[in-house]
């Protein structure tokens, strides 16, 4: 079940929410297990999230309600964008 974040809906993921997710995720790895100091559980991400690995092929369509989580070669989150 995805984490429900107040104020984040299909049409209003603004810069404040992106900053909030950036603060939660940058420097952590995305995992299937429970969240900890160094990992963040994939199931706690918003429903419309894509994790983008280096070299991944992604569509260029812009979706205002989508969270993009970019990870480095070692699987650590480098930055977060919307679209």
The pLDDT value given to residue 79: 97
The pLDDT value given to residue 14: 86
Instruction: Give the list of residues 6+ apart from residue 4 with CB closer than 8 angstroms, or none.
Output: none
Going residue by residue through the chain, which has 83 residues, state the pLDDT in tens, using 9 for 90 and above: 444 455 444 445 788 999 999 999 999 999 999 999 999 999 999 999 999 999 999 999 999 999 999 999 999 999 999 99
The pLDDT value given to residue 12: 57
Q: What is the pTM of this model?
A: 0.81
SS (H, E, C) the chain: CCCCCCCCCCCCCCHHHHHHHHHHHCCCEEECCCCCCCEEEHHHCCCCEEEECCCCCCCCCCCCCCEEEEECCCCEEEEEEEC
């Amino acid at each position: 079940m995805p984490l429900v974040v107040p104020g984040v809906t299909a049409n209003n993921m603004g810069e404040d929410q992106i900053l909030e997710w950036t603060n939660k995720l940058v420097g952590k790895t995305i995992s299937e297990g429970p969240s900890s100091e160094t990992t963040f559980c994939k199931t706690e991400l918003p429903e419309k999230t894509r994790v983008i690995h280096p070299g991944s092929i992604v569509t260029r369509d812009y979706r205002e309600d989508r969270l993009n989580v970019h990870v480095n070669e070692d699987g650590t989150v480098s930055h977060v964008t919307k679209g």
